[in-house]
Chains A and B, each alone.
Chain A
Amino acid sequence: MDLELVQRVQEGDKKAFDVLILKYQQRIVHVITGFVHDPVEALDVAQEAFIKAYRAIPNFRGDSAFYTWLYRIAINTAKNHLTARARRPPAMDVDALDATNYYDAPELKEFETPESNLISTELEHAIQQAIQDLPEDTATAIRLREFEGMSYEEIAQVMDCPIGTVRSRIFRAREAIEKQINQIMSEEE
């Protein structure tokens, strides 16, 4: 689907790029925060990275996944940002091919603050609880999707049900999890 969105952007559809931002902004900000410790500064660098990506998107030919391509731009933008500020970029790098798993990179963990760790832990517990409370079919569908990375078609085969049913179950699971997340976020505020 990313490729279809990219093609739309390449044809002049700016709204399609909007969707790509919505889809990847959290991940990109998270990656950049690993380099630029200040969360506000990280937002500025992320914005710059997305703008660079927009300008470079005519050159994107789909040789790699869109996110891998975007990830490289984000990393370079963050490094350039640090260099421009006469700060030394961290002496570590995450292989772009492993970009989708970057959150497991131990090098990035050290930049997390105790506050963010606390929120993450709370969210994890809340999400696990929310999934446990779901009906079995719904919980299985969201687990297969989010943790096993299966497509709707694969989940439909595993669960022996129509793809439309898979789509509904995953949507219901997300709604339930959203409620938990919103509750925690409102408590934090």
Chain B
Amino acid sequence: MTANQNELLSALVDGELKGNELKQALQLLSTNDAARAQFQRHQLVSDVLHGHMSQNIAVDLTGRIADAILDEPAITLPQKRKALVIPFPTQFWKQATGLALAASVGAMAVMGLTNQSQIQLRPVTAVASIEAPTQSMTVAQAGNRWTVGQQEVEERLNTYLVNHNEYAGASSVFSYARVVSYDVGQ
């Protein structure tokens, strides 16, 4: 036993060894009886200093326990399951690429038509904004309600509906409009 080995075992008692040094100390203990006895003496000193000493001063249970667990299988922790990765077949990627291309073309077509429809809509919007004062005046006159009985309002509503149908037909968006009106007495 060298002085360094003795120091190593003393440090092992204090739990101050890690990595290679711990491995070295464990190797020493498993192959060298003198080292084992030395380690026990160091441990005994520490136990005595802490008042851990039992009436059996020369306790050594290692032999008895080693015999008892000799026939037991070595402990092996269950391995953590890794996520099973199944690669997609080549055919899948070909189909996915085709679908992605088709979806892109479809999206571009919808966006293009939408822009075109907005351009067509501009004159209608302009007309509406020009005629807005008349409309607000009509609403005011009817007591905050559309009065279908008025010829001017009815014509305007019809114009809106025609424009809406034209716009909806061109853009492939479903055409739907609802006109709500109230009787004068309501």
Contact = CB atoms under 8 A, between A and B. Distances in A.
Indicate, yes or no, whether A interacts with B: yes
Contacts of B46: 146, 174
Contacts of B153: none
Nearest to B76: A12
A55 interface: yes
Contacts of B43: 22-23, 26
A27 B10 contact: no
Interface of B: 6-7, 10-18, 22, 26, 29-30, 36, 39-62, 64-66, 68-69, 72, 74-77
Contacts of A127: 48-49
Contacts of A16: 26
A54 B65 contact: yes
Contacts of B56: 29, 39, 42-43
A139 interface: no
Given A23-B43, A151-B16, A152-B11, A47 B30 contact: no
* A contact patch SS: helix
A50 B77 contact: no
Contacts of A17: 69
Interface in A152-189: 152, 167-168, 170-171, 174-175, 177-178, 181-182, 185
Contact of B30 (A15, A104, A152): A15
Contacts of B68: 47, 51
Contacts of A136: none
A29 to B, nearest CB: 4
B42 A26 contact: no
A22 B58 CA distance: 11
Contacts of A178: 41-42, 44-45
B13 to A, nearest CB: 7
A63 interface: no
A29 B16 contact: no
A21 B61 CA distance: 7
A74 to B, nearest CB: 12
A17 B72 CA distance: 13
B75 A29 contact: no
10 contacts: A1-B16, A8-B26, A14-B74, A15-B26, A22-B62, A30-B53, A167-B11, A170-B14, A174-B42, A178-B42
Contacts of B14: 145, 152, 170
B15 A1 contact: yes
Given A4-B22, A30-B54, A43-B56, A181 B30 contact: no
